[in-house]
Amino acid sequence: MEEIVRELTEAYGPSGAEGKVRELIQERIAPYVDEQRVDALGNLIACKRAGASPAVGRLMLAAHMDEIGLIVSYIDEKGFLRFHPMGGVFPLTLLGGRVVFENGTMGVIGIERWQEDKIPPMDKLFIDVGAASPAECPVKVGDIAGFHRPFFAQGTRWVGKAMDDRIGCAVLVEFLRQVKETIYDLYVVFTVQEEIGLRGAMVSAFAVEPDVAIAVDITTTGDYPESDKMAVELGKGVAIKVKDSGMIAHPGLRRHLVQLAEKAGIPYQLEVLRRGTTDAYAMQVSREGVPAGVLSIPTRYAHTPSEMVDQRDVRTAVDLLLHLVAQPMELGG
Amino acid sequence: MLLQRLSDAFGVSGCEEEVRNILAQTVRPYVDELRTDSLGNLIAIKRARAGVERPVRVMLAAHMDEVGLMITRIEKDGLLRFQPVGGIDPRLFPAKRVVIGKERVPGVIGVKPIHLLKPEERERVTPVEQMYIDIGATSKETAEKRVKVGDYAAFATRFGPHGLEGESRLVRGKAFDDRAGCAVLAAVLQGDPYPVELAAVFTVQEEVGLRGARVAAYALAPDVAIALEGTICDDLPKEKDQSPVTRVGKGPAITLADRSVVADRRLVRLLVDTAEQAGIPYQFKEPALGGTDAGAIHLTRAGVPSAALAVPSRYIHGPASVLSLDDLEHTIALVRAVLPRLQDWPEPKV
């Protein structure tokens, strides 16, 4: 699985420019799905029908392809690029960083003269691609840059940029590779533009009309120095979401996931996230409402160029999904 | 000129009737269906020309509403309290002339004269809750004869030419955001049918949350959509080398991405290609600023590929904007030129 995680995290795909990630995934899942289509916003909707018919229902699984990025807003007379964030990007994570554009142009993030003890506002920063003027500049206003960082594995940890949410995409790709038995019609959706407002999930949930929906995304942890007090830790298993700032996971679905994990001996943790949400929020409030939940991959240093996950947690997420689709759910009232 | 009538019309978000009446009267001879929905959107369908099988449905949206004020309370002494409707910089209010309600009762937003200001008061922005409108009433009773709580107020600006007569193509007026877009859309609807079906919507309540566009798009389920706007233009001289967002006189501004939408790249390429082939000037709006009806439209139902095109307008969301009639005309030309190229959507010939 390490290979697909490396490939996906290193691929270019900020919100609004997910094409390369989508192509990668299309190729990898082609042997394992009945059909694939790309919708109006660029979501990749893959369908794998239930083994025996009729299916007991329609299950939507979603992971987002987009990563946070920077959109070029202006090229000044000397060829420096000003930008705005696409998604939750913070100035501290940018200083001295390297970014890459869709056409392969690399850039360095510089900062105007600034008092070092305060956090600089975003408009003090700029990207330097080595051009001396707008005419010489290999990128245009509106082009979007993503972080540029290599993946590495060390011990049980995997580190890369865009673990949020390429790790979720990797889980779904691996799940599709391994799934033999499903009693649900599966709609595995690789969504776009989650980081700028859950936009892909909103429209794809409307189209798919699932009976149940589960997002696979990251969550933060409480296990590094002076971190937020949060129960989730790396290596303790897939996190089953109870609540985040956008939604309360359907309690019946959450209980079902917990029961499945316990019966199968799959390590899991319960997650309450103070700030942040996922595609599941958009799926939950689609049309007349959908019972929705989330499987989260615990991640340290989220929204930085070096997000860290534990392989064991990732594999338990795949295992739990494999168990989920082989059994009926009684979600209760 | 239509832009003049639209600019002078009274139409704060939620009270767009006067604007709607002007537009309905203007476009009626040129469209096949005309109706008003439950929120007040004016929906005009112009069917595709004969012989086009299963025409592509293109939604064009321009919002009728402008930012303004609402009267919230009438004080004992006849002064009116208010709150903004839509986003207005509170520093713009003091001393402005406004007109209230359908009767257009004239008022002045009161302000302390400079002689009475303490030094630290000059630094502060008065909160809107502490401002008031003076309509010349001396008591609550006399005020209530002319205005009510819930009445809307708009800036009291009259449209006019701007710059040296005979030389300047600039005009000045209120509400170019988005009466300019409405003027563009009305012009596009005139003339012969296109090889696509036009679902033209003059929307309501864009300034308070893209509300009209959202429901209209749900009802019309278009294949593709373009929002037409009057947009931010900050092209005056600056000390720092900074983006002007758009520039007056440089042609219609194409949105790449704003806070509400990432424009469909195929549509953007088509607009650029069409402009270049037709020799129409164009520019790109600085990304990640503002929002338009396209933000609501593109997320309706299963998603609608959307774009936005705008006339650069200085000083929007204030009492007096400035735009160039050249930019207005080039925007109309660009929309007219791109519509035929949408007939093969989603396989446009670029």
Q: What angle do CA A308, A217, A297 make, to 5 degrees?
A: 45
Look at residue B106 in the predicted model and tell me its pLDDT.
97
Give pLDDT tens digits for A102-136. Answer: 999 999 999 999 887 888 999 999 999 999 999 99
Q: Is the confidence at residue B226, as pLDDT, over 60?
A: yes
Look at residue B287 in the predicted model and tell me its pLDDT.
95
Cβ-nearest to A73 among B286, B303, B305: B286
Cβ-nearest to B241 among A76, A84, A207: A76
Confirm whether B272 is domain-assigned: yes
User: Of the candidates A95, A121, A147, which is a domain's last residue?
Assistant: A147
Confirm whether B160 is domain-assigned: no
- Is the separation of the CB atoms in A199 and A193 below 8 Å? yes
Mean pLDDT of B93-97: 94
Alpha-carbon gap: B25 to the closest alpha carbon of chain A (Å): 35
The reply to whether B192 and B145 lie within a common domain is no
Q: Is the confidence at residue B161, as pLDDT, over 80?
A: yes
Average pLDDT, chain B: 95
Mean pLDDT of A83-96: 94
Active site (catalytic) residues of B = 206
Give pLDDT tens digits for A229-246. Answer: 999 999 999 999 999 999
Contact B286 A74 (CB under 8 A): yes
Q: Using pLDDT thresholds of 50, 70 and 90, give the confidence band for residue B348.
A: low
State the complex-level ipTM. 0.89
A38 at B interface, C-beta within 8 A: no
Instruction: Give chain B positions within 8 Å (CB) of A199.
Output: 298-299
Q: Is the confidence at residue A333, as pLDDT, over 60?
A: no
Which candidate, A161, A221, A229, places its Cα nearest to that of A21?
Answer: A161
The reply to whether A214 and A303 lie within a common domain is yes
Instruction: Give chain B positions within 8 Å (CB) of A196.
Output: 262
The reply to whether A117 and A233 lie within a common domain is no
Instruction: Give chain A positions within 8 Å (CB) of B257.
Output: 16, 71, 86, 142
Q: Is the confidence at residue B118, as pLDDT, over 90?
A: no
Q: Is the confidence at residue B102, as pLDDT, over 80?
A: yes
Sign of the torsion formed by the C-alpha atoms of B182, B174, B73 and B206: positive
Sheet strands (E) in B27-168: 33-36, 42-46, 57-63, 68-74, 80-85, 97-100, 105-109, 133-134, 152-155, 160-162
Q: Is the confidence at residue B159, as pLDDT, over 60?
A: yes
Q: Is the confidence at residue A267, as pLDDT, over 80?
A: yes
Alpha-carbon gap: A255 to the closest alpha carbon of chain B (Å): 31
Range of the structural domain that residue B145 is part of: 68-155
Confirm whether A329 is domain-assigned: no
> Can you give the CATH number for the domain in which B262 is found?
3.40.630.10
A16 at B interface, C-beta within 8 A: yes
Mean pLDDT of B197-214: 97
Alpha-carbon gap: B303 to the closest alpha carbon of chain A (Å): 5
What percent of chain A shows pLDDT beyond 70? Answer: 99
Alpha-carbon gap: B299 to the closest alpha carbon of chain A (Å): 6
Range of the structural domain that residue A79 is part of: 69-147
A20 at B interface, C-beta within 8 A: no
Give pLDDT tens digits for A175-210. Answer: 999 999 899 999 999 999 999 999 999 999 999 999
Which helix (H) or strand (E) segment holds residue A327: the answer is none
Confirm whether B348 is domain-assigned: no
> Can you give the CATH number for the domain in which B136 is found?
2.40.30.40
The reply to whether A294 and A178 lie within a common domain is yes
User: Across chain B, which distance is largest between two alpha carbons, in Å?
Assistant: 73
- Most B-contacting residue of A41, A81, A194 (CB-CB within 10 A), to test interface: A41
The three-state secondary structure class of A305 is: coil
Cis peptide before B346 (omega within 30 of 0): yes
The reply to whether A50 and A106 lie within a common domain is no
A304 at B interface, C-beta within 8 A: no
Q: Is the confidence at residue A58, as pLDDT, over 80?
A: yes
Cβ-nearest to B303 among A41, A78, A85: A41
Q: Is the confidence at residue A332, as pLDDT, over 80?
A: no
Confirm whether A134 is domain-assigned: yes
Confirm whether B349 is domain-assigned: no
Contact A142 B287 (CB under 8 A): yes
The reply to whether A6 and A137 lie within a common domain is no
Can you say how many angstroms the Cα of residue A316 is from the centroid of all Cα atoms in its chain?
17
Tokens of B74: 């009438």
Give pLDDT tens digits for B285-342. Answer: 999 999 999 999 999 999 999 999 999 999 999 999 999 999 999 999 999 999 999 9
Q: From A192, which residue of chain B is nearest by alpha-carbon distance?
A: B262
Q: How many CB pairs under 8 A join A and B?
A: 66
Q: How many domains does chain A have?
A: 2
Which candidate, A151, A162, A154, A302, places its Cα nearest to that of A232?
Answer: A302
- Most A-contacting residue of B56, B235, B256 (CB-CB within 10 A), to test interface: B256
The reply to whether B6 and B137 lie within a common domain is no
Q: How many domains does chain B have?
A: 2
